[in-house]
Amino acid sequence: MRRIALIVAAAAALLAPGAARAAYDQESMLQDDNLLLYSSPATVGATLDTLKALGVDRVRLTVKWSVIAPQPNATQRPGFDANDPAAYPAGVWDRYDTVVRAAQDRGIGVDFNLTAPAPDWATTNAPKPTERNIFNPSPAEFQAFVHAVGTRYSGTYTPTTTTTSGGGGGIGGLLGGGRSTTTTTPAAGGPLPRVSYWSVWNEPNQPGWLMPQSAQTNGKWVDEAPRLYRDLLDAAFASLFATGHGQDTILIGETAPQGSADPGLALGIFPLKFLRELYCVDKKLHPLRGKLAAALGCPTGGTAKAFADAHPDLFAATGLAHHPYSLFFPPDFKALDPDSVGVADLSVLERTLDKIFRAYGQSRRLPIYLTEYGYQTKPPDPTGVSTRKQQSYLNQADFMTFQDPRVKALSQFQLQDDLPNQNVARNSRFYWSTFQSGLEYHGGKHKASFAAYRLPIWLPRTRGSVLRVWGLVRPAANGARQTVQIAYRPAHGRSWRTLRTLKVSSPRGSFLTRVNVPRGRGLVRIGWNGTNSRAVAVSR
């Protein structure tokens, strides 16, 4: 185990980005499984073309275990070699093969989120049939599944096709029929592209993805999900290393921003509490001891070295993934619960991680990857924010996260709105339980946020007569020198006047500059390559 720890730590050192550039080198990610995984190849290609034009660097894809596994609804495990991608049912990999090839053709990266639901045969003790595919998933079976995924997307794996010929004529080939011949040949297209960016499980602190969250032992509630997730992480890391992905980007966490104040099988855990229990520390961030440590699967003696050696992935992961949703509040709204984490609370998350690492003798500052984020809009969701607020909030979140040197990615969820839940009545509170956080309405009509996402602008609070303007030329080639104009128009005027032209050559096209604006009320926007950002009101 010590040897594994040294190997993982060495790989992490190679992956750790330099802090000096971090505030300017944040990836733009986007997730839309409906369009990228559950649509035709033509739709996949068209969607990726749209994302390329928007400036998306990487797409996040949910690799659901039960979608690929054989007989996912069976309670008895089928007989097959789960480590071998060729042993899985024909066609189950096609959607992933399609998108990784199409993304590579367009220069877009891929993030594979390996997650639930699990096949029923890989879980145990679910109290309800509807909870079976997320209840006590087997780390050993998950390890085999991840091994198959890692093998298939290693960059050297060529899929095969199987054809059967002969055997025609007669009755069942018995009267005058010949023998059939099965031939296996490499599929067209050659080896599949390599996937080198991974995250393990989705929102393990929420009951929709992992159960039980908590369980009763001797009349006392004890959180179970952190221990379950720790075991799943160990399993996933073992297989990713075994299949040649040890130096890839590998993220842990994928935590949801909220939780429940009460424990329960199906009641989520606040993210900071979940992380403390995942890392086996108490509220003061000291290693746990005694009975509580034992209940959470931690060393009972509080031995820091033993825990770090047993779970090296917790300390050598490329970064921590988190989903900082704040529902209808703006990004600068600070969470009311001290264990919740929105965009405005990232410094609390970072300090917590730093103290946890120091408790185990580690000095590393773990990078943060925000792999899901967005705002529901009204219309169509009657509980969402206005489309005007959506575009403003998304731009503000871009600004806030680009100013944080620990944040390496921010992912928009999603491109296009879901339809409402067609399985319930229109007046049901679950009718709008799907996601309407897209940059487009369902069907493809653009919201105002579509253009605002492409060319974000934000005006930080400024004292005095000089206005600060932050912007992002998202579609520009990364690192290429760009020309940007800052323009102004009086509130009652018709003509725009360029206040400043500047050259931008930061890694991802972000900039923060200052301009003098005339007194009175007016509008400011940025222009690039013949297109303009949204206009933002100013009053001086």
Nearest by Cα to 500 from 538, 461, 466: 466
Query: For the segment 35-90, what is each residue's pLDDT rounded down to a tens digit?
Result: 999 999 999 999 999 999 999 999 999 999 999 999 999 999 999 999 999 999 99
- pLDDT of 16 over the 70 cut: no
Q: What angle do CA 509, 60, 20 make, to 5 degrees?
A: 35
CA 168 – CA 98 distance, rounded (Å): 34
Q: How many other CB atoms are found less than 10 A from the CB of residue 162?
A: 10
**59/128 same-domain check:** yes
Domain at 216, CATH number:
3.20.20.80
**117/235 same-domain check:** yes
pLDDT bucket at 305, cuts 50 / 70 / 90: confident
**69/155 same-domain check:** yes
Contact between 455 and 526 under an 8 Å Cβ cutoff? The reply is yes
pTM: 0.91
Question: What mean pLDDT is predicted for residues 103-126?
Answer: 98
Phi first, then psi, for residue 178 (nearest 5°) are: -90, 170
DSSP category for residue 249? E
Residue 28 lies in a domain: yes
Q: Got the DSSP string for 285-332?
A: S-B--HHHHHHTT--TT--HHHHHHH-THHHHSSEEEE----TTS-TT
Query: For the segment 437-449, what is each residue's pLDDT rounded down to a tens digit?
Result: 999 999 999 999 9
**318/465 same-domain check:** no
Residue 513 lies in a domain: yes
Point out which residues pair with 538 in neighbouring strands.
522
Domain at 465, CATH number:
2.60.40.10
Q: Which two tokens stand for residue 286?
A: 């000291």
**266/371 same-domain check:** yes
**501/359 same-domain check:** no
Residue 441 lies in a domain: no
Residue 180 lies in a domain: no
**516/410 same-domain check:** no
CA 252 – CA 143 distance, rounded (Å): 15
**411/477 same-domain check:** no
Residue 166 lies in a domain: no
Query: Residue 275 belongs to what H/E stretch?
Result: helix 271-278
**141/236 same-domain check:** yes
Domain end, chosen from 368, 400, 416, is at: 416
Residue 125 lies in a domain: yes
Range of the domain at 480: 455-540
- pLDDT of 5 over the 90 cut: no
Residue 424 lies in a domain: no
Q: What is the pLDDT of residue 431?
A: 92
**353/470 same-domain check:** no
Residue 518 lies in a domain: yes
Residue ranges of E strands in 43-189: 58-64, 109-115, 160-166, 180-186
Contact between 5 and 309 under an 8 Å Cβ cutoff? The reply is yes
Look at the chain and report how many structural domains it folds into: 2
**304/393 same-domain check:** yes
Nearest by Cα to 323 from 371, 366, 367, 276: 371
**286/385 same-domain check:** yes
